Structure 1
Amino acid sequence: MYGQPPPTQAAASSSRHDVALSISPLPESSSTTAVPPPSQPPPPLSANIRNSSREDFLKFGLPLYKAALEGNWASAGQILHQSPDWIRKPIAKGGERVLHIAAAAKRTHFVKELVKLMSRDDLTLSNDAKNTALCLAATSGVVEIAKVMVDKNDALPIIRGSRDMTPLQMAVLLGRRDMVWYLITVTDDDQLTDVDRIAILTSSINTNLFDVANHLLIKHPELALLRNGKEETALHTLARKPVRSGSYHEQSIWKTLVGLGGKLAQGKVPQQPLELQLVQRIWDEVIKQEEKKISFLIGSPWRLLFIAAKCGALAPSHRLNCVSGAALQMQRELLWFKAVEKVVSSEYAEAENNNHKTPRALFTEKHEGLRIKGEEWMKQTAQSCSVVTTLIATVVFAAAFTLPGGNDSKGAPMFVHRPLFIVFSICNALSLSSSSASLLMFLSILTSRYAEHDFVKSLPLKLMLGLTGMFISIVTMMAAFTATFFITFRQGLYWIPIPIALFAAVPVALFAFQQYPLLLDIYQSTYRSWSLFQPTKPKLFPSYPT
């Protein structure tokens, strides 16, 4: 593993072929003594097998292979009693011995009996890929098999196999948790380099072995800042993984990584505040994660590490675009700032940088362009909607004095006692009042000061109320229009107003289809976003084996 860490989860499928071998027996027609004809290529035999004849292989090797694969110790015991040397000879194409095959096939009893007949040196024999039988046992995940071998030869865990990996690294790569914990206890840690350890750490994160990763970080805190062969830290690897709700071990490794990173960074660069040191190292990756994960961090003792990143710097465009409209983007940025402002100590909240600017001043400066865009977006939206609400208010106001059926000689409506007339009157009044209220909301938006704090709740709330009022006015206006048609054609001509009622529903559906996404975005951004940035209570985590 020196100089090259094991592949990450993205390359796990190709690596599994290296460490979890597909073992197949030697061809029965193979002969080490016969020279193949010039027209045929040599058989794919291991070089170590050529000291056996075809007859010996068919008599001992092939039956031994089948016995190991099936776990038939009675048959294998007889063979090894007749010819003990076959316990060390390759019996498969890849140069695997009988112990390799039994370990890969997870034949626990077979391995136990076989190891009794083997010497310490016999257990160190490797196949053509340089894997010992313990390497294959590590990939199989059967701890009892590995334990039998290690009890016989405690040097096996440090013997490297394919791609210069130790059995521990192979088990981590395939996510064999129980095997990993066992091998950690029997592998001489002094024989591992930092290159090995950071590779094991990043691989354990990739395979969701967060408890293992946390154990490694506690034992070797310096790993928090080391980089693997891809020039990535463990935090880079962790930041790319999706959030798994309720994953205590994953939250624990977040806390450990950030905490250790802060302490180490503070020791290496003491002339800068702790927050500023870590932001430059880790924020580019952490910002890609869901706010739910960041919410947990804000609620933990490590929350101060994320203050500087949001107290001034404008978020990347791909993060801003998660909400629609510049005004809502500005709102999201302000929510971030307020969330970290609540947990930061007063000395950092009022501290000045090298340009003598506080976090609040820096935030205002960096977000001025976004604030202007938000103001323009909000004004354009309010102005367009106010035109519609004004038109609706004008129409329904006129309809209030042009009643269907007219008035009698005393000025009373002709159909005042008819149910449809009552429906018309109520819908017309609701339409007028809701359109007027909506118009007032849009006018309030147009005359707003557009200060920073207005984007948090005041402006989004006004826009949401204005759009809701406009939708109600459209629905009630079309309902009053439809009721008028039913009153007019009440004398057996209902076939005329029925299609009219259906057509009247078209503008209502169009408005809902076009404006509902915006209304939903405003609601979620204004009310549901607060919960994303509220501190959550850290949970206790179980201790890990040492």
Structure 2
Amino acid sequence: MLAEVVERAHTLKLLKFISGSDLEAANCLLTANRHLVNAKIFLTIERRPLHSAITEGSLEMVDELLSYMSEEDVKIQDEGGRTALHFAAMSPGNTKIAESLIRKNKELLTIPDDQGKYIPLVFACQTGHKDITHYLYKETTPAYLLCPENQNQAASVVIECVRSKLFGIKQIYDLKLTHVYAHELLLLISKSIAALNVDEIRQSSVVEAIINASERGMTEFIVEIIKTNPDLLISIDKNSRTICHIAVAYRQEKLFSLINGHDAVKYYFLDFTDNYGNNMLHLAGQLEPTSQLKLDQISGAALQMQRELQWFKEIESIVPPAFKEYKNSFGATPYEAFDQSHANLIKEGEKWMKDIAQSSTIVGTLIITIMFAALFTVPGGYNQDTGIPLLLSKKLFKLFIISDAISLFASSTSVLIFVGILTSRYSKDDFLTSLPKKLIIGLSALFISIATMMVAFSSTVIILLKGQLEIVIPIVLLATIPICLFVWLQFPLLVTITMSTYGPGIFDRKVRKWL
């Protein structure tokens, strides 16, 4: 009895030292009582000092305890069959601890627990801790995950990653040494799902994983799973939305293109409505938090509105005519739903366009004033008798005249275009092509006017300071700064608008048959 009291007193001390990260005291106690390193530290559960140190997140204490333990000691499991690496996988910021554990005994990577029969990697995926998941995924060998007897582990890894929104199949591909391993892993998962019966499918997270993959646009995962399990094509979420409806609601254009480009597949989904009576066109017309996340990746409210119109027009082109006037549970047609959901975005888009137009109009007006005046105060002056410029025969003078005229005409054009933008009516359809087209022309003309203004300025400097290269060269180089600034600040916007309006579009029209 006395021995048990003394033993418990030592255990309580060790537990206190672990909790307080007192390395020196723990070292003294373990030196005198080495067996305590594997002692039970709680009365009702099978936890060991190492498990407690990991839960505390103390790397130094973990390393101290490991120095007293053998490789077999580290494999000790708690009442649920969880090893020290399972505990490390469940807590954030424990990657360094996991590294220490694996250095001590690499077998920890493949020891499953007693309840779910899951290895530590699956635990990490379930808890959603990205860093340690990446590390354990890298350390767990492809040979183990691709082994037929471990197919449940492989399936659990992918499904839990999708469910926890850690990363998709593409990221899983990137984590592996080769794409082949990841693809084999996915095929193995597909085959293991195909071997499940209906009840097992319902009890598992397969449908949930497909729904989550649809929300995130993980086309590789969806294609491989459904190719092997075509009965999962009509997977429905809690709101009675199919994967096609989810693709529209979450604005996942790649997944939508995959379905829309396959005529035999897309007609499965057209007549579905969700719990709120929304058909596919309603979902395209609704601006919800689910679609806002994808929309926030586009800069500028006007371009966001353009993207929303592109989605709505695309869905409008494929739904049956009757669906266009169909009312949802709130009594709204798709067009009414679009107007209601996008009222604020239209106002923001109008403000965004007007702000750009106003500032650009000011710049354009200044350029018009400068270039008009410069045309009548030419370098070298005029012949007093004939009124003809003295340097008329010089090539640089001709360059000055041409660039001045181009700058004047281009700036005048840009100002007129921007005035047109300011006076537009800003109906929703204007954001599709009319307003972006005007903005493209206006910004392009403004860029040409700035560039040619600098050419006119440089040619004048060269004429006036002929031969003085030590002055001419720095001035000409400085003249390129406004052009470079415009390219840096405005050219990306110009390219984005041009590609969004006249580019190939966000929807892939050349999808190959996959089912």
- Find out whether 1:298 has 2:260 as its counterpart: yes
- Out of 215, 221, 225, the residue aligned to residue 253 of structure 1 is 225
> Residue 154 of structure 2 contacts residue 189 of structure 2 at CA under 8 Å; is this kept in 1?
no
Q: CA deviation at 1:512?
A: 2.2
2:129 matched residue in structure 1: none
> Residue 354 of structure 2 contacts residue 421 of structure 2 at CA under 8 Å; is this kept in 1?
yes
Write the distance in 1 (CA, Å) between the matches of 2:305 and 2:215: 26
Q: Which amino acid aligns with 1:163?
A: D
- Out of 381, 393, 398, the residue aligned to residue 417 of structure 1 is 393
> Residue 397 of structure 2 contacts residue 460 of structure 2 at CA under 8 Å; is this kept in 1?
yes
Write the distance in 2 (CA, Å) between the matches of 1:385 and 1:406: 32
Q: CA deviation at 1:313?
A: 3.3
- Find out whether 1:461 has 2:437 as its counterpart: yes
- Find out whether 1:470 has 2:446 as its counterpart: yes
> Residue 190 of structure 2 contacts residue 228 of structure 2 at CA under 8 Å; is this kept in 1?
yes
1:481 matched residue in structure 2: 457
Q: CA 1:226/1:481 → structure 2, altered by over 3 Å: closer, same or farther?
A: farther
1:163 matched residue in structure 2: 114
Write the distance in 1 (CA, Å) between the matches of 2:112 and 2:452: 77
Write the distance in 1 (CA, Å) between the matches of 2:405 and 2:378: 13
Equivalent residues in 2 for 1:358-373, closer than 5 Å = 358-373=333-348
Q: TM-score, normalised by structure 2?
A: 0.60
> Residue 236 of structure 1 contacts residue 282 of structure 1 at CA under 8 Å; is this kept in 2?
no
- Out of 334, 344, 361, the residue aligned to residue 309 of structure 2 is 334
SS of the equivalent of 1:500 reads: helix
1:179 matched residue in structure 2: 147
1:519 matched residue in structure 2: 494
Q: TM-score, normalised by structure 1?
A: 0.57
Q: CA deviation at 1:298?
A: 3.3
Write the distance in 1 (CA, Å) between the matches of 2:459 and 2:37: 92
Q: CA deviation at 1:307?
A: 4.7
> Residue 425 of structure 1 contacts residue 480 of structure 1 at CA under 8 Å; is this kept in 2?
yes
> Residue 210 of structure 2 contacts residue 222 of structure 2 at CA under 8 Å; is this kept in 1?
no
Equivalent residues in 2 for 1:8-407, closer than 5 Å = 41=35, 93=72, 162-165=113-116, 176=144, 178-180=146-148, 199=156, 202=159, 209-218=185-194, 220=197, 228=205, 233-239=208-214, 247=220, 250-253=222-225, 260=232, 262=234, 277-278=240-241, 283=246, 287=250, 291-300=253-262, 301-302=265-266, 304=270, 307-314=281-288, 316-407=291-382
Q: CA deviation at 1:220?
A: 4.2
SS of the equivalent of 2:339 reads: helix
Q: CA 1:165/1:284 → structure 2, altered by over 3 Å: closer, same or farther?
A: same
Q: CA deviation at 1:330?
A: 0.6
Q: CA 1:395/1:210 → structure 2, altered by over 3 Å: closer, same or farther?
A: same
C-alpha offsets along residues 312-369 of structure 1, whole Å, 9 cap, x if unaligned? 2345443222111111111111111122222223332331113332212211111111
- Find out whether 1:539 has 2:513 as its counterpart: yes
How many equivalent residue pairs?
Answer: 375
Give the gaps of 5 or more residues in structure 1: 1-37, 46-91, 97-127, 132-159, 188-195, 270-275, 542-546
1:508 matched residue in structure 2: 483
Write the distance in 1 (CA, Å) between the matches of 2:214 and 2:459: 59
Q: Which amino acid aligns with 1:495?
A: E
Q: CA 1:284/1:224 → structure 2, altered by over 3 Å: closer, same or farther?
A: farther
Q: CA 1:399/1:347 → structure 2, altered by over 3 Å: closer, same or farther?
A: same
Write the distance in 1 (CA, Å) between the matches of 2:434 and 2:248: 33
Write the distance in 1 (CA, Å) between the matches of 2:200 and 2:361: 59
Q: Which amino acid aligns with 2:147?
A: M
Write the distance in 2 (CA, Å) between the matches of 1:406 and 1:449: 48
> Residue 224 of structure 1 contacts residue 257 of structure 1 at CA under 8 Å; is this kept in 2?
no
Cα RMSD over matched residues?
4.5
Structure 1 window deviating more from structure 2 (297-306 vs 506-515): it is 297-306
Q: Which amino acid aligns with 1:466?
A: G
Write the distance in 1 (CA, Å) between the matches of 2:230 and 2:305: 28
Write the distance in 1 (CA, Å) between the matches of 2:227 and 2:362: 53
| Overall identity of the aligned pairs, in % | 31
2:178 matched residue in structure 1: none
Q: CA deviation at 1:494?
A: 4.1
Q: CA deviation at 1:537?
A: 2.4
Q: CA deviation at 1:169?
A: 12
> Residue 434 of structure 1 contacts residue 470 of structure 1 at CA under 8 Å; is this kept in 2?
yes
Write the distance in 2 (CA, Å) between the matches of 1:235 and 1:429: 61
Structure 1 window deviating more from structure 2 (395-404 vs 412-421): it is 395-404
Q: Which amino acid aligns with 1:41?
A: H
Write the distance in 2 (CA, Å) between the matches of 1:319 and 1:406: 59
SS of the equivalent of 2:493 reads: helix
Write the distance in 2 (CA, Å) between the matches of 1:320 and 1:169: 36
> Residue 441 of structure 1 contacts residue 462 of structure 1 at CA under 8 Å; is this kept in 2?
yes
Q: CA 1:169/1:536 → structure 2, altered by over 3 Å: closer, same or farther?
A: farther
- Find out whether 1:434 has 2:410 as its counterpart: yes
